[in-house]
Structure formats: structure tokens, C-alpha cells
Amino acid sequence: MDQLFKAYKWMGLIMIMLILCISATTTKAQSAESITPLTIGDKVPDVVLKNMLFYKDSTANISDFKGKLLILDFMSVFCLSCMKALPRIDSLQKRYGDKIQVLLITPNKKEGIEDAFKRTKLADKLNLPIVPRGSDLKKYYSHKIISHIVWIDQSGITKAITHSDYIQAKNIESMLKNSRVDWPVKKDIMR
């Protein structure tokens, strides 16, 4: 009888642990699912951008850029074509000044970014803010292939999702004039 009681006690503890594990997994999954991916025409929530590099503060909110054309460039320091495009993108940032803001969003850690920029000698030449480990934004603008460019108008509405070759003066001008753009939406084709 005593052994039977001990067996029930252990089974009860195992059941409680199992329930707690399932509950924790469900809660974690629900919080990850609470971010709904955005597309053309969607308003961008006021996401907090942390640990920013090459920006006046280490933290910013998306709303800090309201009134500007915001261009999110999802890239990686390990992507050669992404890194090669940066001087051209930086020159457009300088040309349009406070009318636009290009933000580089990368999955890379701060240390890796700093090393890559020193190694390529881009740190002294560029003035583009970088959001390391920008996973929250990636959840809103899910993609597999980089570069992945998101154009957000002055009022915070997603206007286009393109490749980096769309970052050109004529396209920036169109966006600044609030012209309607019919650019193809970038699709990640995985085979």
C-alpha cells in the first residue's frame, strides 16, 4: 500500500511537470504568433529598436522617424552584395538628408558588425544607422533572401517591399511625392 501511494505521488508530480512544460511552450508560441506579418498598405507598429550603432542614441522607436521616408534594409555583414551596395545607399541618405532615413537591419551581433565595418574600411565612410539583431522587425517583414527592402511612407504605412536595386534617386523622389508606385513585391523563391 505504501508503494502504491509513492507511485501515485510520483505520477502526480510528473503530471504537474508535464502540464507546466506544455503551458510554457504554448505561452511562448502564442507570444511569437502575436506578431502579424505586415505587407503593402499596413501601418507599422511603434517597434523599439535597441542597441543601435552609428546613431545618435542606442535606442529609437519607429515613430521617431515619422515625417520621413523610412527605408529598412534587411541585410547581413556576410552578404557581399549587401556590403557593396552600402556606399551607394549612404550617398542617397546624404543627398536627401532629413527627408529620408535608411536603417540597416541585420541579424548580426554588434561585435561582428563593428569588425566587418573596420575590415572593409566602411566605418569611416558611412553614416547609416544599424540595428543589430533586428529580429522583431524581421518578424513583421518575414523573408528568407537578403537584401530585403521595406519602404515606409512619412505616415508610417508600408508602401513597397523590394530588392536593394530599387534604392535609387528616382524611386526616392516618387516616394517623397507620395506618388503611387506599382513596383513588384519582392518574393522569396525557395526551391
Task: Find out whether 72 and 146 touch, Cβ atoms under 8 Å.
Answer: no
pLDDT tens profile 33-51? 588 899 999 999 999 999 9
pLDDT tens profile 71-86? 999 999 999 999 999 9
Task: Find out whether 57 and 65 touch, Cβ atoms under 8 Å.
Answer: no
pLDDT for 117 equals 87
Cell match 518574393: residue? Answer: 187
Q: In 10 A of CB 74, how many CB atoms?
A: 26
pLDDT for 190 equals 57
For Cα atoms 41, 42, 46, give the angle at the middle one, nearest 5 degrees. 140
- Between CA 48 and CA 120 the distance in angstroms is 29
pLDDT for 162 equals 96
Q: What percent of the chain has pLDDT over 70?
A: 81
Q: Name the residue among 110, 185, 105 with its Cα closest to residue 139.
A: 105
pLDDT tens profile 85-97? 999 999 999 999 9
Q: Kindly state the average pLDDT of the residues 48-66.
A: 94
pTM of the model: 0.80
- Between CA 3 and CA 9 the distance in angstroms is 10
